[in-house]
Homo-oligomer: A and B are copies of this chain.
């Protein structure tokens, strides 16, 4: 979007939100939902109709708690905050966003209070991520994960660092682009219902089940940047493309939670796309695409390069293993801010301290510190980050269930075939859209509640092997 379009887009988005909110909170909708209750109870829980009524009622109740005027004020504030952040970050100047963040925190608390919650983060997590989990549950889940991750990262970091210089040669952008498209077509991304464009910050956007688009970024001297972004976004997109057409146009036609959504981008990007088997199939093709650059690079060297572990400052550039430490820092800081244990003015310092403690890295500036992510600067404080790590946890839990049903999947991946895995995911997760909460879905699909065990097993096995621990 050209710079001049920002103000009007803000107004247009605010109008659409307002129209949507108006409809979601219309008393007639409430009366209709009430009238439908006996019908809903006469139907199986997992039928489309019962699910539609159930999910719509939940949203009606949630949206009705928050006054439209408050939502409008808060949304307008977000637009101003985003503007401030986009200037503050390049200037490395936290003070430019501080007053905005103060207000954001105030609004986030006010929003939460409309729900009279146990923890102020609960309604934020529910409204903006629909995880179906309380803040305390996530906190204890994350604390267990941290106690597994920190020693594992420490062990890995003590080993010689992987050499990824093979990825830092010159790789013409057009070939990178074409290779990425070929890969995701193979994974099952449907180009008759999507397309890829180029941006600075990759994302997946959906206009309908029939039009789910992705973007990627390209760097000539960084092989993998484009490819893994492309695979990541195609994971989000295949989830949305896989929703049953019958649900189109209803509130059910979208992914169920931030965490489950992220589980699909991470499953395809990391568990599949950074696996050795995947590259046993694709690496020869990649070498053919870049013969000069890769002819003397073995599969093993390449595989180690794309799985290099190195604690760093930037979340979006982090490796699979340290990534969760970035997320958990943010989650904890969100809770501290909401609970009043941490003041906005002390946030940069708290950020630096946690990075030093958890990741062993330090940077005196804020640009690549507390200002690095956009999330708190266009939305609430609370509910914004936990989905990334929940997604990692879920990706392994789902994948383990898929392997249990189809032990042949790893062999198929080695052969460049993804139909069984994609089919299983579509059948068990994608097609349902938002019919089930994340918690219901994980129970239905894996037979157990959300658990970190498969993820920890996956990481220990993969990185144990890679670093001969």
- Give residues in A with beta carbon < 8 Å to B: 1-9, 11-12, 19, 190-195, 207-211, 213, 248-249
A211 in contact with B5 (CB, 8 Å): yes
The CA of A192 and the CA of B4, in the complex, are separated in Å by: 6
The CA of A194 and the CA of B8, in the complex, are separated in Å by: 13
Residues of B within 8 A of A2 (CB): 191-195, 210-211, 213
Q: Contact partner of A8 among B3, B213, B248, CB < 8 A?
A: B248
B249 in contact with A4 (CB, 8 Å): no
Residues of B within 8 A of A213 (CB): 2
B249 in contact with A5 (CB, 8 Å): no
A211 in contact with B19 (CB, 8 Å): no
The CA of A209 and the CA of B4, in the complex, are separated in Å by: 8
The CA of A11 and the CA of B1, in the complex, are separated in Å by: 25
The CA of A4 and the CA of B209, in the complex, are separated in Å by: 8
Residues of B within 8 A of A194 (CB): 2, 4
The CA of A183 and the CA of B12, in the complex, are separated in Å by: 32
The CA of A2 and the CA of B237, in the complex, are separated in Å by: 14
Q: Contact partner of A7 among B12, B195, B210, CB < 8 A?
A: B210
The CA of A3 and the CA of B195, in the complex, are separated in Å by: 10
Q: Which 9 A-B pairs give the minimum distances between C-beta atoms?
A: A5-B211, A8-B208, A4-B193, A4-B210, A5-B210, A4-B192, A3-B192, A2-B193, A8-B210
B248 in contact with A210 (CB, 8 Å): no
List, sorted by A's number, 13 A–B pairs whose CB atoms are closer than 8 Å: A2-B191, A2-B192, A2-B195, A3-B193, A4-B192, A4-B194, A5-B210, A5-B211, A7-B210, A8-B207, A9-B207, A9-B211, A12-B208
B8 in contact with A190 (CB, 8 Å): no
A193 in contact with B248 (CB, 8 Å): no
Most interface-central of A191, A210, A213 (chain B CB within 10 A):
A210
With A19-B19, A207-B9, A208-B9 in contact, is A190–B4 under 8 Å at CB? Answer: yes
Query: Chain B residue with minimal CB distance to A209?
Result: B8
The CA of A367 and the CA of B13, in the complex, are separated in Å by: 41
The CA of A193 and the CA of B8, in the complex, are separated in Å by: 11
The CA of A211 and the CA of B7, in the complex, are separated in Å by: 10
B249 in contact with A6 (CB, 8 Å): no
Residues of B within 8 A of A209 (CB): 8
Residues of B within 8 A of A8 (CB): 207-211, 248-249
The CA of A193 and the CA of B191, in the complex, are separated in Å by: 31
* Nearest CB in chain B: distance from A243 CB, A: 12
B249 in contact with A193 (CB, 8 Å): no
* Nearest CB in chain B: distance from A76 CB, A: 15
* Nearest CB in chain B: distance from A314 CB, A: 28
Given A1-B211, A4-B193, A12-B207, list of 9 further CB < 8 A pairs? A2-B195, A3-B192, A4-B190, A7-B208, A8-B207, A8-B210, A11-B249, A12-B208, A19-B19
The CA of A6 and the CA of B9, in the complex, are separated in Å by: 24
The CA of A4 and the CA of B248, in the complex, are separated in Å by: 13
The CA of A320 and the CA of B26, in the complex, are separated in Å by: 55
The CA of A19 and the CA of B11, in the complex, are separated in Å by: 17
Residues of B within 8 A of A190 (CB): 4
Residues of B within 8 A of A4 (CB): 190, 192-194, 210-211
B6 in contact with A210 (CB, 8 Å): yes
